[in-house]
């Protein structure tokens, strides 16, 4: 069954088990193009697992994930990796930068891997570093940056590649409140001006308030929805986004 036309990302009855724990048990949702969707819920409710499944990083045990007309759940590993590299962006709670590269080289990495000429990649990276107020440190390596500055570089790296969908898993959890708020404002403004769809996992209501819509998880299923007894959820459950 193909997803509704206006959903860029669509999942039906997702189940995922990690280390014997049923991390997701029958989650369905649709995400519209350009939408900023907050995924909230208490610690351990399955937010990260949901983002990892939707982004094709984790194979789903049962259920479907569609990106436009591509069935992510049945793609071969190489095709899934290509999809993730070319269409998706990921920001985690901790900045994972290459220590040997400068801030601009880290930010430009997705473009350099796509063989974008160095000068153009550098210009694009510099623009995002400026927008994230870190342009002055473009030539500094990660060890010379503060934690907050490193996270800004990671955000620039995710945005520079102009992903269709950006997965942001607690992207400002490790930042001080004011820092985090500024980074989030830049991120959401960039997403809106570039039409980037964002899935924003957070347990912070103030962060979720920046989104267009919120879905809440509880113990691996959507709060307010009855966990499926036999994986028999239908299309109605998939249309919860509308």
Ligand X SMILES: Nc1ncnc2c1ncn2[C@@H]1O[C@H](COP(=O)(O)OP(=O)(O)OP(=O)(O)O)[C@@H](O)[C@H]1O
- Per CB under 6 A, residues contacting ligand X are 18-19, 21, 23, 41, 43-49, 203
Residue 16 phi, psi dihedral angles, 5° rounding: -145, 130
The minimum distance between CB 181 and ligand X, in angstroms, equals: 19
Min separation Cβ 133 and ligand X, Å? 27
CB of 197 to ligand X, least distance (A): 20
Give the strand order in the sheet containing 62-67. 21-32, 7-18, 62-67, 70-71
Q: Smaller CB distance to ligand X: residue 137 or 201? A: 201
Residues contacting residue 219 through CB under 8 Å, at least 6 positions apart: 25, 45, 46, 227
- Closer to ligand X at the Cβ: 128 or 167? 167
State the burial class of residue 108 (Cβ atoms within 10 Å of its Cβ: 0-12, 13-18, 19+).
buried
Q: Report which of 100, 124, 99 is spatially closest to residue 110, judged by C-alpha positions.
A: 124
Least distance from C-beta 159 to ligand X, angstroms? 22
Nearest to ligand X by Cβ — which residue?
19
* Tokens matching residue 117: 């000429």
CB closer to ligand X out of 41 and 163: 41
Which residue lies nearer to ligand X by CB, 23 or 183?
23
């Amino acid at each position: 069954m193909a997803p509704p036309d206006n959903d860029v990302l669509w999942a039906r009855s997702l189940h995922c088990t990690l280390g014997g724990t049923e991390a997701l048990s029958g989650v369905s949702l649709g995400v519209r193009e350009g939408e900023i969707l907050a995924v909230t819920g208490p610690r351990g409710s399955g937010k990260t697992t949901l983002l990892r499944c939707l982004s094709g990083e984790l194979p789903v045990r049962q259920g479907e994930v569609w990106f436009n007309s591509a069935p992510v759940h049945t793609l071969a590993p190489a095709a899934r990796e290509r999809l993730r590299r070319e269409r998706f962006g990921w920001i985690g709670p901790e900045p994972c930068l290459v220590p040997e590269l400068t801030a601009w080289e880290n930010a430009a990495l997705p473009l350099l891997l796509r063989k974008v000429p160095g000068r153009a990649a550098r210009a694009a990276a510099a623009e995002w570093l400026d927008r994230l107020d870190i342009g002055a440190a473009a030539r500094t390596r990660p060890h010379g940056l503060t934690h907050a500055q490193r996270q800004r570089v990671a955000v620039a790296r995710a945005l520079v590649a102009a992903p269709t969908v950006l997965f942001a898993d607690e992207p400002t959890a490790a930042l001080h409140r004011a820092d985090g708020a500024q980074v989030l404002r830049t991120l959401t403004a960039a997403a809106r001006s570039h039409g980037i769809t964002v899935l924003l996992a957070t347990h912070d209501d103030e962060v979720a308030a920046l989104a267009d819509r919120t879905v809440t998880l509880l113990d691996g299923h959507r709060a307010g929805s009855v966990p499926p007894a036999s994986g028999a959820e239908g299309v109605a459950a998939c249309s919860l986004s509308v």
